[in-house]
């Protein structure tokens, strides 16, 4: 396997870590090592990183909050890019929030509530960053992030910056045409409302989360809901709660979650996902599609 080499730290202003452990950077707590982890704190650093990737031909993946990903192999043979610094800043002006891609979505939801703005109540319980939420059009059955998008700024892999107005982006259920771009910033449009109405919607969003595993290490819902049904209901009806591969277990609280009860590995989680799909297909003739992003080595 050829070595992924980072330039000297001082040459770029980018933080580079070779053979970086990613255990703390994914909500499932899966053990994995990235051959290279790069953190950029400004757009200037990001452009340098993209330049490096272009020159070396290295593949890279952007990791946001790590809350919707399965690190599928103990050794990932590509670079992982993280945004911080400037990308973790946000400003609230009138009824708009402009925020960097690294800001936690739930933080923006909190700020909106404090400012008596409605629109992000459902996001209060969604883990992960704004960038990740936009890439995958995060949401609940009641709301999705695309409902509030005014514009999104992103860079392509060659470093070309583009500002997409909302109608230029195709958002679908847990999917958007922004995937593949490095999302840097976005502006969300909200509306003013009476605090008691906002509080009521917050409470309703909280109640809908009651059946989900709390405090457990998971990547949120594993599968998309198939048309007219829900993955959780189907997996439960197939009797798969508690099914395990090593320490990866189908949650007993909510069947569309897989929890890491100890030292689960990426390959075990992937095996469990395959087994759940196989059994649901066999019993109900429904082919479940994953909503989590699965990262695997290419070699």
What is the distance between the alpha carbons of residues 150 and 153, in angstroms, rounded to a whole number? 10
Q: Does 290 bind ligand EPU (CB under 6 A)?
A: no
Minimum distance, C-beta of residue 297 to ligand EPU, in the bound complex (Å): 25
Minimum distance, C-beta of residue 219 to ligand EPU, in the bound complex (Å): 8
Minimum distance, C-beta of residue 221 to ligand EPU, in the bound complex (Å): 3
CA 288 remoteness from chain centre:
19
For residue 187, indicate whether it is catalytic. no
Q: Does 141 bind ligand EPU (CB under 6 A)?
A: yes
Q: Does 236 bind ligand EPU (CB under 6 A)?
A: yes
Minimum distance, C-beta of residue 224 to ligand EPU, in the bound complex (Å): 5
**Nearer to ligand EPU by C-beta: 226 or 267?**
226
Site mask, ligand EPU, residues 82-121, x = CB under 6 A?
----------------------------------------
Catalytic residue among 35, 48, 82, 174: 174
For residue 291, indicate whether it is catalytic. yes
What is the distance between the alpha carbons of residues 111 and 109, in angstroms, rounded to a whole number? 5
Q: Does 128 bind ligand EPU (CB under 6 A)?
A: no
Q: Does 63 bind ligand EPU (CB under 6 A)?
A: no
Minimum distance, C-beta of residue 294 to ligand EPU, in the bound complex (Å): 14
For residue 221, indicate whether it is catalytic. yes
What is the distance between the alpha carbons of residues 21 and 89, in angstroms, rounded to a whole number? 26
Per the CB < 8 A criterion, the answer to whether 270 and 72 are in contact is yes
SS3 category, 177: coil
Q: Does 208 bind ligand EPU (CB under 6 A)?
A: yes
What is the distance between the alpha carbons of residues 61 and 78, in angstroms, rounded to a whole number? 7
**Nearer to ligand EPU by C-beta: 91 or 179?**
179
Q: Report the site for ligand EPU in 212-231 (rule: CB under 6 A).
A: 220-221, 224-225, 230-231
Nearest by Cα to 294 from 79, 16, 20, 26:
26
What is the distance between the alpha carbons of residues 133 and 64, in angstroms, rounded to a whole number? 9
- Is the backbone of residue 286 left (phi > 0), alpha (psi -120 to 50) or beta? beta
Minimum distance, C-beta of residue 207 to ligand EPU, in the bound complex (Å): 9
Element holding 37 (H helix, E strand): strand 33-40
Q: Report the site for ligand EPU in 257-286 (rule: CB under 6 A).
A: none
What is the distance between the alpha carbons of residues 73 and 297, in angstroms, rounded to a whole number? 6
Helix/strand/coil percentages in the chain, nearest 5: 30, 30, 40
What is the distance between the alpha carbons of residues 103 and 136, in angstroms, rounded to a whole number? 15
Beta-bridged to residue 187, according to DSSP, are: 98, 151
**Nearer to ligand EPU by C-beta: 64 or 220?**
220
Catalytic residue among 35, 48, 201, 221: 221
Torsion, Cα 111 222 62 80, to 10 degrees, reads 120
User: For ligand EPU, which stretch binds (CB under 6 A), given 1-9, 182-190, 232-240, 263-271?
Assistant: 232-240
Active site residues: 174, 221, 291
Interface residues toward ligand EPU, by CB under 6 A? 140-141, 208, 211, 220-221, 224-225, 230-233, 236, 254-256, 291
């Amino acid at each position: 396997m050829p070595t992924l080499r980072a330039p000297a730290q001082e040459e770029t202003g980018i933080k580079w870590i070779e053979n970086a452990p990613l255990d703390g950077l994914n909500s499932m707590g899966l053990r994995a090592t990235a051959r290279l982890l790069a953190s950029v704190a400004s757009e200037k650093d990001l452009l340098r990183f993209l330049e490096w990737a272009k020159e070396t031909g290295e593949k890279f993946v952007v990791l946001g909050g790590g809350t919707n990903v399965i690190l599928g192999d103990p050794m990932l043979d590509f670079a992982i890019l993280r945004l911080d610094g400037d990308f973790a800043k946000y400003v609230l002006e009138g009824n708009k929030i402009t925020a960097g891609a690294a800001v936690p979505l739930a933080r923006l939801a909190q700020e909106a509530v404090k400012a008596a703005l409605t629109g992000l109540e459902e996001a209060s319980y969604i883990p992960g960053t704004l960038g990740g939420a936009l890439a995958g059009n995060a949401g609940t059955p009641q709301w999705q992030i695309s409902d509030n998008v005014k514009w999104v700024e992103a860079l392509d892999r060659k470093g070309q910056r583009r500002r997409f107005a909302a109608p230029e982006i195709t958002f679908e259920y847990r999917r958007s045409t922004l995937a593949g771009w490095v999302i840097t910033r976005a502006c969300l449009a909200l509306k003013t409302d009476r605090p008691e109405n906002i509080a009521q919607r917050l409470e309703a969003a909280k109640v809908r989360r009651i059946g989900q595993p709390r405090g457990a290490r998971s990547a949120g819902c594993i599968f998309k809901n198939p048309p007219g049904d829900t993955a959780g209901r189907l997996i439960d009806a197939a009797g798969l709660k508690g099914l395990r591969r090593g320490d990866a277990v189908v949650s007993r609280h909510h069947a569309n979650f897989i929890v890491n009860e100890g030292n689960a590995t990426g390959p075990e989680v992937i095996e469990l996902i395959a087994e759940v799909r196989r059994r649901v297909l066999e019993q109900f003739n429904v082919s479940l599609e994953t909503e989590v992003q699965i990262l695997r080595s290419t070699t």
